[in-house]
Amino acid sequence: MKFLMADLPPRQRYKLLVSTVTPRPIAWVTTRGRNGVVNAAPYSFFNAMGDDPPLLVLGLLKDANGADKDTATNIIETGEFVVNLVSESDAETMNQSCVDAPRDVSEIDYAGIATTPAARVAPPLIATAPVSFECVKRELLEIGPRQVIAVGEILVTHIRDQFIADPDKLHIDTAAMRLIGRMHGAGTYLRNSDTFTMTRPAFDPARLDPARLDPAGGEAR
């Protein structure tokens, strides 16, 4: 089937995206509001976008009334946030922080999330996260009525010592982190433990030789 995205309502576009763009890493974002309340919320419209400067991007959907949620509001007002990655052991706590809590309620308190101070920004790190990125806002794009895209520059990366295989060579034991990601559906997650490896090939000019192709367009045998 072919879907013209402009002809679909937002909810159906969302269903197509989250059912096909998988797995998606989870950014468990901590922010601090001007009122001092610390917010924690998970987002799966998230990824790394570059290394010079080191960038992360967050897709922050608005609420049913078209208003910015706490995470977007705090990033807009303060320009600071922390992206924490989620391990299997934190899955239930992360899920509890998904609730639509009142604006004056901290998900840190509600979900019982342990935190530790950041080095360069006001929002705290999630203490149990295997990796945390302290970020400052570089760009904020409001494209359409329902979403804000936040581009953050990473100032500090925290990786728990137990996952550093070789500090000098920056070899990280990523598998040991037991990170989870989002899949399709309302509550489907993925364990990032079933992996395989392929060596990146070098360019081979011989592969462009027409003699290698049979009349049907495939490789000759």
Q: With b meaning 16 or more CB within 10 Å and e meaning fewer, what string describes 176-187?
A: ebbbbbbeeeee
Sorted by where each begins, the domain ranges of the chain are 5-194
Torsion of CA 149, 16, 42, 110, to 10 degrees: 120
Closest by CA to 131, choosing from 22, 21, 48, is 48
Task: Kindly report, residue by residue over 113-147, the tens digit of the pLDDT.
Answer: 999 999 999 999 999 999 999 999 999 999 989 99
Question: What is the rounded average pLDDT of the residues 153-179?
Answer: 96
Q: CA 62, CA 152: separation in Å to the nearest integer?
A: 18
Q: What percent of the chain has pLDDT over 70?
A: 95
pLDDT value at 88 more than 90: yes
The CATH architecture to which 5-194 belongs is Roll (2.30)
Work out the mean pLDDT of the chain and round it to a whole number. 93
